[in-house]
Structure 1
């Protein structure tokens, strides 16, 4: 499942087309890539900063909950969108796959690329917002690319495995939508783990997405470096999922193309 120069060119073209098609026909076009995250930041900062003031670790400013919430929502959006879009990629692009000899193992990378572009734009606006409210950045932010990269690796691995299963069992994508909804509320994004009952807090650590969320929250709120154990866990899980996807691709590629 190697990547050739032709594969890289195809991924770049798919990314460009996806970004262009996203807001094609809208009067403001690509400006929506800025408007949408800005509107989210404004909404959260004006509503939640006043209605849900919270003391989070060492940061107790009036925008504490907003800072916490936006970081989690953006990271979860990257994970969930990548998983859902990659999981449905073969069914969505079946017509294209029948016409041209695309590499099924690497073609979905364009989805991850697009979601990363959108995430980076949103997070850059978020960082600017933090500077405006006086929260400031810190050296721990240098670790963000690592945390986000590991989260993306896990998301892509999950999505790729589900994409191949979806060709054989079409109900996979419908079930995934339900799991994603439950996953959002089972991950401390709109609440802090401290409000959970003592018996439930250890269970949260069974959620790999929480490992990334906790690291991102620690970096943004407290300037705390990610812990070694969750980062290692994410790396091992991501590599394992990609290895599983590569094995499935090698065993099932002919059947996948026949069914598509």
Structure 2
């Protein structure tokens, strides 16, 4: 599978490039559309909730503290949810291509993940620019965003590819997962700080592995600390194992997927 992906690397790169161009070929704002949606979410939440929740951020003061906190969480969530959402319907949408052409099918999720990473890169640049405007001091600790992004990609790809395979056989999944993602979003301390959760319920956050990833983003970008990043090692190992399992299932189910599609 990986040998086939390497042989078709030029196809993957050109497909990512063509997808990027086709999305904005007639757009006046081009790549700005990829960042306007999450930034508009930040503006809405900050406008409505900043006065209420800014004082709830422990150890952080400043007029724009809540906005920075919110952007840090959305930076992680946007990449995570986009990979899952696009992989969920990927094989169904590309059914005709899968049936009519013979090529390493693993290139399809590779193209999707590569496209999501480009979108995330634009969002990172935009948010770092806003951080600069808001007076956030940059530091070398922000380089930890690179391994954190890798963990997010591995975790999301493992979930997304597995769900994408199942969705070929059980189409109802395509309707259920977006709802579950919304629930997952609000179960993760992105819009609200962890400190407002009653102590007796904070233990429930241990059931949400993505809460730790978002917390690492917030620690780096809001608090400038990296002490808790090493705690993500178990999640990174789980993400790798999940991706291996999803690729194994994908490979075993590829022929049956063609028949169903």
TM-score normalised by L of structure 1? 0.91
Per-residue CA distance 1:209-228 (angstroms, 9 max, x = gap):
11110100000011111525
8 A Cα contact 2:70 2:191, kept in partner? yes
Aligned to 2:60: 59
- What residue number does 1:219 align with? 220
1 CA distance for matches of 2:45 and 2:224? Answer: 22
TM-superposed deviation, 1:247:
1.9
- Does the 8 A contact of 2:161 with 2:250 survive in 1? no
* Greater Cα shift, 26-35 or 168-177: 26-35
| Higher mean C-alpha deviation, range 79-88 or range 121-130 | 121-130
Query: 2:155 touches 2:242 (CA, 8 Å); kept in 1?
Result: yes
Deviations 1:112-157 (A, max 9, x none): 1111111111111111211222121122111111111101100001
- Distance in 1 (CA, whole Å) between partners of 2:111 and 2:227 is 28
Conserved 8 A contact 2:83-2:156: yes
The equivalences for 1:147-226 within 5 A come to: 147-226=148-227
Q: 1:195 to 1:162 in 2, by over 3 A?
A: same
How far did 1:67 drift? 0.4
Change (3 A) 1:64 1:86: same
Q: 1:6 to 1:99 in 2, by over 3 A?
A: farther
Q: Cα gap change, 1:3/1:178 in structure 2, threshold over 3 Å: closer, same or farther? A: farther
Matches within 5 A, 1:43-58: 49-50=50-51, 52-58=53-59
2:245 aligned residue = 244
Map Cα deviations across residues 149-202 of structure 1 (whole Å, 9 max, x no partner): 101100001001111111111111111111101001000000011111222101
In the alignment, structure 2 segments of 5+ residues that lack a partner are none
Superposition deviation, residue 26 in structure 1? 2.9
Structure 1: which 5+ residue stretches go unaligned? none
Residue in 1 that maps onto 2:139: 138
Contact 1:12 1:110 in 2 (8 A): yes
- 1:13-68 Cα offsets, whole Å, 9 max, x none, are 22122222323433333443455556556556666555643352332111111000
Distance 1:10 1:128, change over 3 A: same
Distance in structure 2 (CA, Å) of the matches to 1:12 and 1:226? 36
| 1:83-102 aligned within 5 A | 83-102=84-103
Number of equivalent positions: 260
Structure 1 distance, partners of 2:43, 2:163, is 35
Residue 27 (structure 2) pairs with residue 26 (structure 1): yes
Q: How far 1:3 moved relative to its partner?
A: 4.0
Structure showing the higher helix proportion among its residues: 2
Cα gap change, 1:174 to 1:200, in 2 (>3 Å): same
- Separation (CA, whole Å) in 2 of partners of 1:133 and 1:46: 15
